[in-house]
Structure 1
């Protein structure tokens, strides 16, 4: 349904163009994104299961890792199922309410992941720079409060942006040149003044993205300084190995986000925008379980133990 009033149009649905500019590869893209979805769900589910079943991994670092895996599952489910459906149908529509809901949850999970990565950096900072007080500082209740605080703050941030976007009027074509409902392509369709929305994005982007990244950066400067002061090379390697996986994830995730939101407007490209969104919204959630399992000996040992116990139980 659409209502015209003074050349402004409120649409009942949008069309997500996605990757329709390359129709000859729709089947290939469907298979690729289906594999991304399945690998992400399987990998993160395995991480959550291993962490739940292994008492030796019931500590703050792995508690946060389990929450990160849950977040990655949520993030991939917001975007990929809609993409898969659009690869198979000719009319690639999404309702206005569905578009706002997708944008809200995508913003929530992305912001929550940024906060959680900052929390994980703090955990590694306390473990390496203040190990004698680690147990006292990183109590279970405090860890839960950090996770809940990340979720609540991210949700409030997403609600503000979603409400502001939903109040815009849209005119002209209702085609979103993206594979999901993101604010930037929606603003291009709006015939309202988007100055307030853009200022909110810039302000919150600076506070949330750069604030989280700056906190992580400061934490790692102190962590690396503390590691370099360790006399034993074996202890230095062991200390760095406990945070190397997190550092790789932070580099991939925040590197893409900062490139996307803080590059000059003159270099803006819809294709680049889609690739960047695919990186931090799809590929990073898929890679996280492999990064943490392949670079973490405790997780690998727990995984081998779980597999061997299952094989032994079947033989018995």
Structure 2
């Protein structure tokens, strides 16, 4: 989701505009946008291409595995795994909105995207980013009920409540995204058309509008703050209450409670710390635009990349389920091989 815009002047964007049509302001709407990305890095782009490709493969593989085992293993039927599978799905789609286009940009001299495609990418990137934080908030509430009210857990976190909470996360992200997106769509874009980012970042695209965007900037910043701060405050409140409850427990119960929420707490810490780091990098004046873009890309990829790793390492039930699934696949492969040999 958007944090703050890069400090790029309209003049510098105008100078770097390479479109062959509509090359001056006021000459009509631009037919497409050019994604600047990291084209200035030259041959070093291939290193980033390999790193990003491997990271994307791990994101898809790790999160797909979590979704598969939570859907097929009856031992993983608790609400926590339902929420985790939804988070994995969001992480996969979230990264798919940007990474494939970034990978293609490393292999071409100029990367273009249609105006509708740009705004679709922008919408889903912000929307899914807020949705992921909404699901993390739900998971914090789930841990709060499990630790602070264990006897009422099954009666509180029913299947109907789980579905309502997930629908609420998606609705909340729509609320935080839709108004700013509608305002951005209504702006005229008549050139320049170079987006100085690795994807259609809303702040970078807004700088290309041919009209006053002060109201858009305010609405976009307010929406981002609502999405970040409201979820952050709710998560922090849940863990404060969990901490108070744990202080009244014995040592053994305290350790068990900590293990229950350790993975989620680790993911939340990484997610909000990386967002804070991006915010700081935007405000450091002596950083180049390339460094800021790399920081933004790392922020967008880091949490979806680490989520399946952290939950697999921290959760014994999930590790055991993955091991059982791999064993079943190996057994099926061996059986298939034997059948082929017999037929041959």
Q: Per the shorter chain, which TM-score range?
A: over 0.9
How many angstroms apart in 1 are the aligned matches of 2:209 and 2:227? 25
3-state SS, counterpart of residue 21 of structure 1: helix
Among 193, 214, 224, the residue aligned to 1:195: 214
* Partners of 1:77 and 1:128 in 2: CA distance: 35
- Indicate which of 90, 96, 100 corresponds to 2:119: 100
Aligned residues: 315
Q: TM-score, normalised by structure 1?
A: 0.92
Q: Alignment partner of 2:117: what SS?
A: helix
Match of 1:245 in 2: 263
Q: Displacement of 1:263 after TM fit? A: 7.6
In the alignment, structure 1 residue 289 sits paired with structure 2 residue 319:
no
Change (3 A) 1:249 1:238: same
Go from structure 1 to structure 2 and tell me whether the alpha carbon gap of 1:264 and 1:50 turns closer, same or farther (over 3 Å shift).
closer
CA-atom RMSD, angstroms?
2.2
Q: Whole-Å Cα distance in 2 between the matches of residues 5 and 272 of structure 1? A: 29
What residue in structure 1 maps to residue 327 of structure 2?
Answer: 308
**Larger Rg, first or second structure (1 or 2):** 2
Q: Which ranges of structure 1 fall in alignment gaps of 5 or more residues?
A: none
Q: CA deviation at 1:274?
A: 2.0
Residue of structure 2 equivalent to 1:65: 84
178 and 122 in structure 1: CA distance in 2 versus 1, 3 angstrom threshold: same
Farther-moved stretch of structure 1 (92-101 vs 156-165): 156-165
| Cα contact 1:8–1:169 (8 A) shared by 2 | no
Between stretches 167-176 and 235-244, larger displacement belongs to 167-176
Q: Secondary structure at the match of 1:10?
A: coil
Residue 109 to residue 264, structure 1, CA distance change in 2 (3 Å)? closer
CA contact (8 A) 1:127 1:134 kept: yes
Displacement of 1:33 in angstroms is 1.3
Q: Structure 2 regions of 5+ residues with no counterpart?
A: 1-19, 336-344
How has the CA–CA distance of structure 1 residues 263 and 31 changed in structure 2, closer, same or farther, with 3 Å as cutoff? closer
Q: TM-score w.r.t. structure 2 length? A: 0.85
SS at match of 1:11: coil
Specify whether residues 160 and 32 from structure 1 end up closer, same or farther in structure 2 by C-alpha distance, changes over 3 A only.
Answer: same
Q: In 2, distance between residues paired with 1:27 and 1:59?
A: 43
CA distance in 2, matches of 1:285, 1:42: 11
CA deviation digits over 1:161-180, x for unaligned, max 9? 22111222335532111111
C-alpha distance in 1 between matches for 2:186 and 2:163: 35
CA contact (8 A) 1:16 1:177 kept: yes
Over 3 Å counting, the alpha-carbon distance change for 1:130 and 1:293 in structure 2 is same
CA distance in 2 between partners of 1:175 and 1:4 (Å)? 11
Q: CA deviation at 1:2?
A: 5.6
Cα offset, 1:40, TM superposition: 0.6
Distance apart, 1:123 and its partner CA = 0.5
Deviations 1:186-209 (A, max 9, x none): 222223211111111222222211
Counterpart pick for 2:68 among 43, 46, 49: 49
From the superposition, tell whether residues 42 and 248 of structure 1 become closer, same or farther in structure 2 (CA, over 3 Å): same
Deviations 1:36-88 (A, max 9, x none): 11111000000111111111111111100000000010011100110111111
Corresponding residue for residue 280 of structure 1: 299
Q: How far apart in 2 are the matches of 1:268 and 1:190? A: 26
1:263/1:30 CA distance change after superposition, 3 Å: closer
Distance 1:314 1:158 in 2: 46
Q: Return closer, same or farther for 1:259/1:314 CA change in 2, 3 Å cut-off.
A: closer
d(CA) in 2 for partners of 1:224, 1:183: 38
Specify the SS of the correspondent of 2:29.
strand
1:152, distance to aligned residue in structure 2 (A):
2.1
Q: How far apart are residue 315 of structure 1 and its match?
A: 4.2
